Amino acid sequence: MKEVNVAILGMGTVGGGIYQLIEQEGRNIEEKEGIRLKVKKTLALDYSVDVPEEKKARDISEIIEDPEIQIVAEVMGGIKPAKDFEMMALRAGKTVVSANKDMISQNWPDLEAAAKEGGVGHYFEAAVGGAIPILRAVQDSMQANTITEVYGIVNGTTNYILTMMDERGLDFDEALREAQELGYAEANPTSDIDGLDARYKLSILASLCFNARVPVDKIPCEGISKLARMDIEIGKELGYVVKLLAIGKRDEDGAIEARVAPTMIPKDHALANIKGSFNAVFIEGSAVGEMMWYGKGAGDLPTASALVSDMIYSVKAGEPRYASFDNRYDAQGVRFNDNGLTEYYIRLMVKDEPGVLSQIAGVFGDNHVSIRSVLQKPAEKGGLAPLIIVTHEAHEKDLQKAVAEMSSVEAVHGELHCIRVEQ
Ligand code: HSE
């Protein structure tokens, strides 16, 4: 039996989950893997579970300087001091497992350099999709594929809110309040609802899928707070469900397009049926075709499951695993496509008068945007009617130009509501 001493940094929900899971499943892991995981030290200000006093470290040096500790799990979150602690542990030759998607996605090259310096691995399965073993699947089970597309529902908070808006007809604010009351959304929900959490996750996931560094700042990001219930309802009539998708695509020339945005998808697509706070990742690979993974993207034991799996993986892997692409900040040779082709749903509020439709169609036509279908709803109280245009695939820049020009059409009032459509 191989004994492996572990330290946990941060003993909130996830840290407590790791502690509990090792207690609960320790015997099982010993039998299956021949590894005895022992939590030797923890470091935290607050503890979500009871931990004996002798396992509570006074400071980080007590962990870094302990030669018996082989693995450090960092689940404190945030950038400071989490980055410093991970770097110290890696340089000291300790494997680091982490769920810290924002810190890792923005500091991956530094962390990897520190891991190489220490001759150890840095693993972060829990950072994307929580319990879903998607990074391992991409790295260890799909090597014989060129991955061309990845679509993820990787934020449970927003998926819960969108599910409530869709199924119960709630407004965004009502659904957010309910998500907060139930503990799905945090008191400050910005990172989730603005799509930032999903963007960090996509940066990591797309980099591994496409074997090229996809930095966070190359990913345009739009959240869900401006989504109107009306668009979700009209989308439904048209056969679509709105999801906050983290999307990565690689075209035949190798150019990468990545974005996080509310997106309409056909209601019979597998991702349309991912409800509540669940996560899912859908991948198109050259050999496997379409694949999908589904599961809990957050929570104590689900997230801990991925972290403990990384611990075991690190012990069993002969060599530490590093990115097989150029993972420097100034990685050369990666091309990004900022003018991708997508279909669009556009809602305009218009005066219901003769000639209006032809003016609007003219603006789209002048900008090479082809219309697939048009739907007009009855005029509302102010006399304005919702006019819905669904386009064929259009280049992003053409669409943006058409949208900008639409403000000069006198019959169009207020903002356009524009949602991407993926078939
Ligand atoms: N806040 C995230 C979510 C979980 O709602 O999915 C942690 O990334």
What percent of the chain is predicted at pLDDT more than 90? 95
Structure tokens at 35: 């590894």
Q: Are 189 and 175 in contact (CB under 8 A)?
A: no
User: Angle of helix 396-406 relative to helix 356-366, nearest 10 degrees?
Assistant: 140
**Cα distance between residue 352 and residue 322, in whole Å:** 60
Res 383: pLDDT: 85
The distance in angstroms from the start CA to the end CA of the chain is 51
Is 102 a pocket residue for ligand 1 (Cβ < 6 Å)?
no
Distance 127 CA to ligand 1 centre (A): 9
Res 106: pLDDT: 97
Distance 313 CA to ligand 1 centre (A): 24
User: Which ligand 1 atom is nearest residue 160's CA?
Assistant: 5
Q: Tell me: pLDDT of 343 over 80.
A: yes
Instruction: Give pLDDT tens digits for 234-276.
Output: 999 999 999 999 999 999 999 999 999 999 999 999 999 999 9
To the query of whether residue 201 is one of the catalytic residues in this protein, the response is yes
Distance 156 CA to ligand 1 centre (A): 6
Average pLDDT (40-54) is 98
Instruction: Find the catalytic residue in 40, 83, 201, 249.
Output: 201
**Cα distance between residue 418 and residue 398, in whole Å:** 14
What percent of the chain is predicted at pLDDT more than 70? 100
Structure tokens at 224: 């869900």
Between the alpha carbon of residue 413 and those of residues 111, 201, 228, 234, 385, the distances in Å are 50, 37, 16, 19, 10
How would you write 241-261 as a 3-class SS string?
A: EEEEEEEEEECCCCCEEEEEE
Q: Tell me: pLDDT of 49 over 80.
A: yes
Is 303 a pocket residue for ligand 1 (Cβ < 6 Å)?
no
| Pocket mutation for ligand 1, best pick of 197, 199, 224 (most atoms within 8 Å of C-beta) | 197
Res 266: pLDDT: 98
Is 300 a pocket residue for ligand 1 (Cβ < 6 Å)?
no
pTM tops 0.85: yes
Is 231 a pocket residue for ligand 1 (Cβ < 6 Å)?
no
| Pocket mutation for ligand 1, best pick of 157, 200, 275 (most atoms within 8 Å of C-beta) | 157
Instruction: Give pLDDT tens digits for 269-320.
Output: 999 999 999 999 999 999 999 999 999 999 999 999 999 999 999 999 989 9
Average pLDDT (108-123) is 98
Res 381: pLDDT: 73
Is 284 a pocket residue for ligand 1 (Cβ < 6 Å)?
no
Instruction: Give pLDDT tens digits for 183-200.
Output: 888 889 999 999 999 999
Distance 306 CA to ligand 1 centre (A): 14
Instruction: Give pLDDT tens digits for 348-390.
Output: 999 988 999 999 999 999 999 999 999 999 997 778 999 999 9
Distance 140 CA to ligand 1 centre (A): 25
User: Which ligand 1 atom is nearest residue 101's CA?
Assistant: 8
User: Which ligand 1 atom is nearest residue 184's CA?
Assistant: 5
Distance 305 CA to ligand 1 centre (A): 16
Buried b (16+ CB within 10 A) or exposed e, 314-348: bbeeeebbebebebeeebeebeebeebebbbbbbb
| Beta-bridge partners for 356 | none
Q: Whose CA is nearest to atom 7 of ligand 1?
A: 298
Res 152: pLDDT: 98
Is 192 a pocket residue for ligand 1 (Cβ < 6 Å)?
yes
- CB-neighbour burial class of residue 116 (10 A; exposed 0-12, middle 13-18, buried 19+): middle
Residue 351's Cα: distance from chain center in Å?
A: 40
In this structure, is the dihedral angle defined by the CA atoms of residues 307, 312, 316 and 318, taken in order, positive or negative? positive
Is 215 a pocket residue for ligand 1 (Cβ < 6 Å)?
no
Distance 155 CA to ligand 1 centre (A): 5
Is 197 a pocket residue for ligand 1 (Cβ < 6 Å)?
yes
Q: Tell me: pLDDT of 409 over 80.
A: yes
**Cα distance between residue 279 and residue 270, in whole Å:** 12
Q: Are 344 and 391 in contact (CB under 8 A)?
A: yes
Is 152 a pocket residue for ligand 1 (Cβ < 6 Å)?
no
Nearest 5°: the CA angle 390, 245, 210 is 115
Is 297 a pocket residue for ligand 1 (Cβ < 6 Å)?
yes
How many other CB atoms are found less than 10 A from the CB of residue 379?
Answer: 14
